[in-house]
Structure 1
Amino acid sequence: MPLHEPSPYEVLGIPLTAGVREINLAVGPAMRAGRYSRQQIQEAAALLRNPDRRLEADLQQPLPPEPVDQAAELLAPALAEPLLVIERAPLPPVATLPALHRAELAADFAELAPGGADPEPPVPARYAADLSVLPQIEVPE
């Protein structure tokens, strides 16, 4: 199965500037070549003979790229520098990373006893507010 649907010009093996006479003359050799089915060849010829359908097909079909002889010279300035530079912040020291233990997490997300009168879930003890969360205040004498 082809990766793309061939253009009518490819099916008939003719240039984009071919006229009706060249289209008619190309049908026979295309049939003998056997690269495409009879139906594909007839549909391509019918499409290219109709000026309106041909214009529509030409507008939908991308033009083939033109060859560039000096491609390496044109790309040299862009390829002289690295294409992508990623600057990442250094990783913090391992000692500063918090450690979570499975038992602590299990306690934090334990099921509540059914029928509790308190509508809000309890805060785990290690996250409870105490005096360490308050800013230090100097009391005047």
Structure 2
Amino acid sequence: MGVRRHGAELERAIVEAVWAELDEVGFAAFRVGAVAERARTSKPVLYRRWPGRAHLVLAAIRYAARAPAAPDPTGSLRGDLVALMAALAAHARRIPSSALWGVLAEGERDPGCAPRSWTPSTTARPTTRSPP
């Protein structure tokens, strides 16, 4: 067994393993054990931090959703905005759609893994107006 990793190094290895597993098998066949093997760690290490696969994938999504580095200035406002939008779009494409849909579906079964902003009080509800 190699050197034991901690902190950011271990987190980066786990996130990379999550993406590799999702790319290879998708969310439906995603296994925590396979992520542990890819990250060269153990399942207990993962389960101490995340209670299940949806929680692990959500953590990887949050990790990947961190803002990308700002692009270099182009010399014009329009050029800067185009470069920024292109960087944001490329950054968003890094997150596999199967991960998003899988976590949303799991969130229906397990409210503990739903994104924090996804609560009944913040979801859109139709409003009814009383007649004048």
Decide: shared fold, TM above 0.5.
no
TM-score normalized by the length of structure 1: 0.27
**Higher share in helix:** 2
Larger Rg: 1
The alignment's TM-score, normalised by the length of structure 2, stands at 0.28
